[in-house]
Structure 1
Amino acid sequence: MSRSRVLAAVPHLPAQLPACVLLVLAADRLPDPVASHFALGGTADGYTGRAALLGVQIGLALFLTVLFGVLAGSARGRRSVTGRYDGGRLLVGLSWSVAVLVGVITYGAASANLDLADATDAVLSPGWLAAGLGAGAAVGWLVHRLTPASPTTGAAAPAAAAAVEVGDTERVSWSRTVVSQPLVVLGGVLLLGAAALGSLGAPLVAVVALGVGGLLVAATSAVRVTVDRRGLRVGLGPVGWPRIVVPLSDIRSAMTDDVSAAEFGGWGYRVVPGGSGVVLRSGPALVVVRRSGRRFAVTVDDPETAAGLLNGIAAC
């Protein structure tokens, strides 16, 4: 088992331990059911039994353990088209940040029930969210800095693709649509998970995190890549919006490369040192070098034709 996988997986169960211990050892000081879901103003609007809430918290911790363990396990330090990117190290820091945030919120939600005769009187102070965000950011940054770098793999970025000859008066266009079935499924699972947790009265932060995550994943589960005399356009989602545009005047050269989702830290739209990308899978990608030197990559079928066409249009 890789070091990154262990470090990314380890914080989630311990982070839930304070809330779980409180539910067990202070059971005589808690109402039953307890307030487990809070509105944005902090007032309780969802309730569940103590045992059920304990199960939800343990289940959430196990889900996050598996999720970050799998992601970090495939990540490596890599010399890629976007420069040196240590996906495993970044995922370890992110995992600890999320663990601390969720742990603080769940403990705050449980402690809001202490010594109440009626759970409807429970109030979750906004200070818990602020504390979770602050502590999560600090711990995540510190763990990221302390985590040893992964060994660098991968070759240097390839040279620009051979230009396709294009006449001055020719009108040319190239387009491909890519759909990631795993992302479609993942988006649906996250949305269903949010609905299930909401119905069980789970903490608001968990429901919102899963719901927003599901919407973001679904919105980036498909892309349409278009190359013409205007440059490169990448439309995200089923309706092609939002859209990423790289004007022809901003393209220094175009190339192709095999990229790994791990080097970008996952799937979807990603910003990494040296550039950015839209990654729906590992494999062939179109890569453009911008005038600033930053690179933009998008995984797509037949990137050779797209890169050659861009270089040919730019040479006109």
Structure 2
Amino acid sequence: MEGVTDVGLQARFLSIAAGWVTLVTTVMIAAPLALRDRLPDPIATHWGTSGAPDNSMPFIASLVFQVGLWALLAGGALVFALANTTLLRRKANRMGLGALLGGLGLFLLGLQVVTLKANLDASDWSQAAELGWDALLAVAGLVLGGWLGALVARPGPDDRPEPSAVPTRRIPLRPGQRAVWVSSVSSVALVALGGSLLAAGLGLAVLALIGGEGALWLPAVIMSLVGLLGATFSSVRVQITEEGVVLFFGPFRLPRRHIAIERVERAWTEERFPTGVGGWGVRGLPGAMTIMIRGGECLVLGYVSGGRLAVSIDDAEKGAALLNTLVDRASTGPSAR
């Protein structure tokens, strides 16, 4: 795979992706048609916060909408891959497209399964079953499909752009002199969004407890979890010492991640933006991950294993320079690799 041509790589990716798109499309059409005699027409297609159905669509219209949405999104991804052959030589790009197709496909199939199950054998769409915890099936499909899609798209070359041609900076340190670099960055928008969702989720949980509305627990849990994740990854603090790099997340500096100095080969800075890495928060997979809090200058760590980690952080150039100095010191010291 390392010596594959652009055309060969594109053909491999497109053949697997097209096969997946065809499979999902076939299942999305065949399953509702096979159960049509046991489904009301129109069928329930939307449920309120209470868990009861509150809107419907004609059977054929619902089927066309679901398949059309999948065809539009999946087709757009395939056209993008067809028009940008060289981008597929980047492992991160392939894995991103694979995760999109895999996650989106299983997510839509999960939604369809939940919808069909709720409508099955109902005399009228208004008599469809209430949604419960089984609605998490679609969320599980999104996560599982994204992971599997990225895994399938991973094999192949990885023509990553090299760091700037400017010599890697270092900060002179006297023998025995110790130095520490600390910087942090936060996003007001992510703090507000995460806090709002968390507050709304906790509010729904209180209403569920007081009013005994069991159907409120599902949106309460989902909103609370999403809000908690948003608040956690709304800020990051980076600390560089002789022991390595430590990343602290969120207002309470939890969770934390420690990267030993022996794992780092070099450090540099790059300009990265949410549109280029897939959005805000933790983007990518281990070995090609970006922690995007705000667009602009990022500290990039190059691992000895070949992977990379980028963190959007202030004063990144000075942090990279100190880390390179400490890496050199560790490699020539008594405990050199």
Considering the TM-score relative to the shorter chain, is it more than 0.5?
A: yes
The answer on 1:274 being equivalent to 2:287 is yes
Q: Flag the 1:79–1:215 CA change in 2: closer, same or farther, 3 A.
A: farther
Tell me which of 168, 180, 185 is aligned to 1:173.
180
Deviations 1:2-50 (A, max 9, x none): xxxxxxxxx9xxx8xx7xx9676268xxxxxx9977xxxxxxxx45463
Structure number with bigger Rg: 2
SS of alignment partner, residue 101 of structure 1? helix
Q: Deviations 1:143-183 (Å, cap 9, x if unpaired)?
A: 9979xxxxx99843336731111122222111111001232
C-alpha spacing 1:141/1:293, structure 2 compared with 1 (3 Å): closer
Structure 1: distance between partners of 2:278 and 2:292: 10
Contact (CA 8 Å) 2:238, 2:247: kept in 1 or not? yes
Matched, 1:99 2:108: yes
Count of residues in correspondence between the two structures: 274
Q: Distance in 1 between matches of 2:228 and 2:196?
A: 11
Aligned counterparts of 1:153 and 1:193: Cα–Cα separation in 2 = 44
Relative to total residues, which structure has the larger helix share, 1 or 2? Answer: 2
What secondary structure, in the 3-state scheme, does the structure 1 residue paired with 2:289 have? strand
1:156 corresponds, among 158, 162, 176, to 162
Residue identity opposite 2:42 in structure 1: L
CA distance in 2, matches of 1:216, 1:232: 22
Whichever residue aligns with residue 232 of structure 2, its letter is A
Matched, 1:50 2:63: no
Whichever residue aligns with residue 221 of structure 1, its letter is S
CA contact (8 A) 2:239 2:246 kept: yes
Sort the Cα spacing of 1:217 and 1:48 in 2 relative to 1 into closer, same or farther, 3 A.
same
- Determine the structure 2 residue equivalent to 1:292: 305
Q: Is the 8 A contact 1:78 1:153 kept in 2?
A: no
1:183 is the counterpart of 2:200: no
Contact 2:40-2:122 within 8 A present in 1 as well: no
* Matched residue type, 2:113: V
Distance 1:222 1:130, change over 3 A: closer
**CA–CA distance in structure 2, aligned partners of residues 175 and 139 of structure 1:** 34
Larger mean CA deviation between 162-171 and 206-215 belongs to 206-215
Q: Deviations over 1:189-225 (max 9, x none)?
A: 5446657988798686655444322221111101111
Seen in structure 2, the aligned counterparts of structure 1 residues 129 and 89 have a Cα distance that, compared at 3 Å, is: closer
Note the 1:19-38 alignment, pairs <5 A.
Answer: 25=42
Give the TM-score, by structure 2 length.
0.59
Structure 2 unaligned spans of 5+: 1-23, 208-212, 330-337
Cα distance change on mapping 1:102 and 1:167 into 2, 3 Å: farther
- Select the structure that is richer in strand: 1
Aligned to 2:122: 114
- Secondary structure (helix, strand or coil) at the match of 1:85 reads helix
| C-alpha distance in structure 2 between counterparts of 1:154 and 1:223, whole Å | 25
Give the Cα–Cα distance (whole angstroms) in 2 for the partners of residues 241 and 139 of structure 1. Answer: 26
Q: 1:213 is paired with a residue of what secondary structure? A: helix
Instruction: Give the Cα separation in 2 of the matches to 1:130 and 1:216.
Output: 20
Going from structure 1 to structure 2, the CA distance change for 1:109 and 1:208 (only over 3 Å counts) comes to farther
Residues 85 and 263, structure 1, Cα contact 8 Å, conserved in 2: no
Greater relative contact order (Cα 8 A, min sep 6): structure 1 or 2? 1
Aligned CA distance change for structure 1 residues 214 and 88 (closer, same or farther; 3 Å): farther
